[in-house]
Amino acid sequence: MNIRQRTMTTVKLTYPSTILVVAAIATSLCLLRAQAPAADSRSVWDGVYTEEQAKRGESVYHKECAACHGDMLIGGESAPPLTGGAFLANWNGLSVGDLFDRIRKTMPQSAPGRLTRQQDADILAFMLSVNKFPAGKTELYRQSEMLKEIRFEAAKPAPKK
Ligand code: HEC
């Protein structure tokens, strides 16, 4: 065997095994990714507001929103409902932060942005309670970046094991 032939053999041998190694690494990276814990991800089902906050929100809602969206949040002549199937479907898969931004930027329709962040967060807490999402021990944040980490999920997830 001359040198040239020997080199060829080595290349032939190592080429497939290189592919195997690369494939193995890629596979394990994918597996790691799939297994990454979702521990810090929260949804509206995790008790993200308090009952007291919802009560505060209720009185602001009645002053600022009910004229159009109705006392029971079921909507009015021109304003859409803020509870029920259609509302939940609109926001399903988005975040509480998206809903917060929507309220901050466009509501009350006659004077968007007039309310404080605290008032908007309180109204949002009230809306969550009317939509039967459970209350918890901490109040809803006032920052949309933090609220963006709370997923809006219409359907209650299966209990965690
Ligand atoms: C003057 C009437 C009026 C008032 C007051 C009002 N809204 Fe609205 N709201 C509307 C109308 C009309 C729409 C639909 C058109 C639009 O998006 O602008 C709407 C849309 C919305 C939506 C989007 C609903 C969806 O599923 O897409 C939300 C959320 C909302 N309003 C919340 C509020 C909150 C909270 C308040 C009180 C701070 C409020 N609105 C006050 C008229 C009003």
Vertex 40 angle, CA 29 and 38, to 5°: 40
- Let me know whether 21 and 46 are in one domain: no
Q: Smallest Cα–Cα separation from 88: which of 99, 100, 103, 104?
A: 99
Q: Of the residues 74, 106, 122, 124, which should be mutated to test ligand 1's pocket, given the most ligand atoms within 8 Å of the CB?
A: 106
Compute the distance between CA of residue 137 and CA of residue 80 in angstroms, rounded to an integer: 30
Is 8's pLDDT higher than 70? no
pLDDT in tens, 96-142: 999 999 999 999 999 999 999 999 999 999 999 999 999 999 999 99
pLDDT value, residue 41? 85
> Measured from the CA of 78, which atom of ligand 1 is nearest?
12
**18 and 84 fall within a common domain:** no
Residues 17 and 50 in one domain: no
Q: Specify the pTM.
A: 0.80
Q: Would 161 be classed as within a structural domain?
A: no
- CA of 160 relative to ligand 1 center, distance in Å: 35
Q: How far apart, in whole angstroms, are the C-alpha atoms of residue 126 and residue 135?
A: 10
Residue 75: CATH number of its domain? 1.10.760.10
Nearest protein CA to atom 17 of ligand 1, as residue: 106
Closest C-alpha to 130, from 49, 41, 68, 63: 49
Number of domains into which the chain is organized: 2
Give the Cβ contact number of residue 35 at 10 Å: 7
- Chain centroid to CA 86: 18
> Is there a contact between 100 and 120 (Cβ–Cβ < 8 Å)?
yes
123 CA closest ligand 1 atom index:
35
Do 50 and 129 lie in one domain? The reply is yes
Specify whether 15 is located in the same domain as 30. Answer: yes
Tell me if 45 sits within 8 A of 129, measured CB to CB: no
Tell whether 99 is covered by a domain: yes
Q: Are residues 1 and 79 in the same domain?
A: no
107 lines ligand 1 (CB under 6 A): yes
Q: Is residue 138 part of a domain?
A: yes
**Residue 10 domain-assigned (yes or no):** yes
Quick one: 29 and 48 in the same domain?
Answer: no
Residue 60 within a domain: yes
Q: Are residues 2 and 52 in the same domain?
A: no
79/13 same-domain check? no
Domain of 99, in residue numbers? 42-151
Q: Give the per-residue pLDDT at 141.
A: 96
50, 135 in Cβ contact below 8 A? yes
Q: Does 36 score more than 50 pLDDT?
A: no
Report the atom number in ligand 1 closest to the C-alpha of 67. Answer: 5
Are residue 10 and residue 72 in the same domain, yes or no? no
Cα 103 to chain center, whole Å?
16
What pLDDT, in 10s, does the model give residues 68-99?
999 999 999 999 999 999 999 999 999 999 99
Amino acid letter, residue 93: G
- Protein residue whose Cα sits closest to atom 11 of ligand 1: 79
